[in-house]
Amino acid sequence: MAETQAATSKLRLGVSACLLGEEVRYNGGHKHMPFLTTVLSNYVEWIPVCPEVEMGMGVPRETIRLEGDAESPRLIAPKSGTDHTAGMQTWAEKRLNELTDLNLHGYILKKDSPSCGLFRVRVFDTKTQIPTRNGRGLFAKALTARFPLLPIEEEGRLNDLPLRENFIERVFVYYRWQQMLTNDPTPGSLVKFHTGIKMSLLSHSPKHYSELGQLVAQSSRKDIALQYGKLLMDGLKVMSTPGKHVNVLMHLMGFIKNELTTADKKELLNVFESYRQRLLPLIVPITLLKHHLNRNRVPDWVHEQVYLNPYPMELMLRNHV
Ligand code: SF4
């Protein structure tokens, strides 16, 4: 399903501008992340955003930090005492309106920043001046509130290969989901979308797989798309494991079990087991299974599984999980 479509139209991702190498940090530096500007840039149109520069703080600038209550911290420049909270919130609302019009498919944020950080950003106690790592940057907070289904991740976590694979998979699914909503938001189209995504869901969360199946069975209901989108993106956030992948691989192998030779069956099962024991990466059992699925007669919906081609193979993400 939509393999070539997702591979040939560029995804549109928002990004903290310093991660692309733009010299917008408080000290005139950057935090270039090569993965973004090399491998990923072949498939992505980047929308760089630097909240602090765009709201007018300039480069270089005084450092800022979060202070007070982690739930609603203030954005303070401690040296001068300037409070940037209202300025950042007002600017963010306006910028998020522009980003809404751009129909983003994902967002990558710089970690630890009082503006862009997504997780565990330092919040300083106003009396003791002791920081606690339990905050979220003010722009990141506004971004997640505005786009609750959008795949959003921090650059630091993308160095963890399973987390990177999970994020990229979610971005491509979100892209497909948005395409469906834009081009043909009918009950029939939802059923077709769900049919194609089933094995991917099963590799993440059997619970969400089952709940979404029940939801799609009522696909004539008008309000279903919103509910479906939320459950879909929540389900894909649940991390896959070798055990869950082997479950899906066995399920798919079931369609050709009567056509495989004993030797082929044995080889497939051995490769699945080696993957389960993490002796082989996921790309090996998938490639071998696809070889057999292509040589044998299986229902069309099996070939159309996003699971078999979730993103361009040149990204090589399944070589490392
Ligand atoms: S972390 Fe965000 S605010 Fe800071 S320099 Fe990078 S893009 Fe700008």
Quickly tell me which residue has 């080696």 as its tokens. Answer: 274
Determine which residue's CA is closest to atom 6 belonging to ligand 1. Answer: 18
Determine which residue's CA is closest to atom 8 belonging to ligand 1. Answer: 50
Q: At how many degrees (to 10) do helices 242-253 and 283-295 cross?
A: 10
Could you tell me the two tokens for 144?
């997640």
What is the structure's pLDDT at 221? Answer: 65
Quickly tell me which residue has 């696909």 as its tokens. Answer: 219
The CA distance from 168 to 303, in Å, is 21
Determine which residue's CA is closest to atom 4 belonging to ligand 1. Answer: 25
What is the structure's pLDDT at 2? Answer: 41
Contacts of 315 (CB under 8 A, 6+ apart): 39, 40, 43, 168
Determine the 3-state secondary structure of 93 from DSSP: helix
Phi (first) and psi of residue 243, to 5 degrees: -60, -45
Distance 30 CA to ligand 1 centre (A): 9
Determine which residue's CA is closest to atom 5 belonging to ligand 1. Answer: 25
Q: Exposed e or buried b for every residue in 67-82, given b needs 16+ CB within 10 A?
A: bbeeeebbbbbeeeee
Distance 117 CA to ligand 1 centre (A): 9
Does ligand 1 come within 6 angstroms of the Cβ of 24?
A: yes
Does ligand 1 come within 6 angstroms of the Cβ of 121?
A: no
Does ligand 1 come within 6 angstroms of the Cβ of 55?
A: no
What is the structure's pLDDT at 223? Answer: 74
What is the structure's pLDDT at 219? Answer: 67
Does ligand 1 come within 6 angstroms of the Cβ of 110?
A: yes
User: Using one digit for the tens of pLDDT, what is the confidence trace for 139-170?
Assistant: 999 999 999 999 999 999 999 999 999 999 99
Contacts of 108 (CB under 8 A, 6+ apart): 13, 14, 15, 16, 19, 36, 152, 153, 154, 155, 158
Distance 110 CA to ligand 1 centre (A): 7
The CA distance from 312 to 318, in Å, is 11
What is the structure's pLDDT at 318? Answer: 96
Distance 57 CA to ligand 1 centre (A): 11
Distance 157 CA to ligand 1 centre (A): 17
Q: Where exactly are the structural domains of the chain? A: 3-159, 182-237, 242-319
What is the structure's pLDDT at 1? Answer: 37
The CA distance from 305 to 298, in Å, is 12
What number does the ligand 1 atom closest to the CA of 117 have? 1
What number does the ligand 1 atom closest to the CA of 52 have? 3
Distance 25 CA to ligand 1 centre (A): 6
Distance 156 CA to ligand 1 centre (A): 14
The CA distance from 293 to 254, in Å, is 10
Phi (first) and psi of residue 83, to 5 degrees: -100, 110
The CA distance from 76 to 83, in Å, is 5
Does ligand 1 come within 6 angstroms of the Cβ of 17?
A: yes
Is there a cis peptide before residue 151, judged by omega within 30 degrees of 0?
A: no
- 260 burial class (0-12, 13-18, 19+ CB within 10 angstroms)? middle
pLDDT beneath 50: ranges in the chain: 1-8
User: Using one digit for the tens of pLDDT, what is the confidence trace for 102-113?
Assistant: 999 999 999 999
Does ligand 1 come within 6 angstroms of the Cβ of 18?
A: yes
Residues 195, 301 contacting (CB under 8 angstroms): yes
Cα–Cα distances (Å) from 54 to 12, 47, 48, 57, 90, in that order, read 20, 13, 11, 7, 12
Does ligand 1 come within 6 angstroms of the Cβ of 116?
A: yes
Q: Where are the alpha helices (DSSP H) in the chain?
A: 3-8, 34-37, 51-54, 85-102, 138-146, 161-183, 187-204, 206-216, 224-237, 242-253, 262-276, 283-295, 300-303
Does ligand 1 come within 6 angstroms of the Cβ of 113?
A: yes
The CA distance from 314 to 300, in Å, is 25
What is the structure's pLDDT at 218? Answer: 83
pTM over 0.85: yes
Distance 123 CA to ligand 1 centre (A): 17
